Amino acid sequence: MGLIYLFTGNGKGKTEAGIGMAVRARGQGNRVVFIQFMKGLPTGEIEPLKELGVEVYRFGTENFVDFKNPSKEDVELAHKGLEKARELAKEKPFLIVLDEINVAVAANLIDTEEVLDFLKTIPDETNVLLTGRYAKKELLDAADLVTEMKEIKHYFKKGVPAKEGIDY
């Protein structure tokens, strides 16, 4: 049976672990779908994932989402992302990564119920990974495995800027 994985918390490593799961699953010869929510800016992982045959889809603009007042475009893009997941789930891939979907829910782009409904319909052959901070309790409850990536120490706090090749 397919399992539901969830990585949340305020520390570095959630998306990175999603990339790692995608790579490992591909390495065992499986079909992998990687859907990124709220991300429009280029990040280093996209091209290598595609090179390995991971099916990558991105639904986001280059701007930050205003949590208190998200734009219509942000809401539409997030729904398109979930719709893409629904559509591809029917083809029973081994793994679907929904990167940053927890944040998309927290930012009110998608309802928790919509994600729960999606999770109820995934085929037995398919595993799903939800990543992003601020995961709702209902999503934690729905997951078979939850890891909290907890920030113990981060150089951002010392004023060191984001590094290309590491943070994006």
Q: In the complex, which residues of this chain contact a second copy (CB under 8 A)?
A: 3, 5, 7, 9, 11-21, 23-30, 43-49, 51-52, 94-95, 127, 140, 143-155, 158, 160, 163-166, 168
Q: Supply the minimum distance, in Å, between the C-beta of residue 10 and a second copy.
A: 9
- As measured in angstroms, the least distance from the Cβ of 33 to a second copy is 14
Residue whose CB is less far from a second copy, 111 or 166: 166
Q: Are 59 and 80 in contact (CB under 8 A)?
A: yes
Q: How far is the CB of 60 from a second copy (least distance, A)?
A: 17
| SS3 of residue 81 by DSSP | helix
Contact 21, 97 (CB under 8 A): yes
Closer residue to a second copy, CB minimum distance, 3 or 41: 3
Contact between 77 and 61 (Cβ < 8 Å): yes
The residue (of 73 and 150) whose beta carbon lies closer to a second copy is 150
Query: Reduced to 3 states, what is the DSSP secondary structure of residue 61?
Result: coil
Distance, in Å, from the CA atom of 82 to the CA atom of 89, rounded to the nearest integer, reads 10
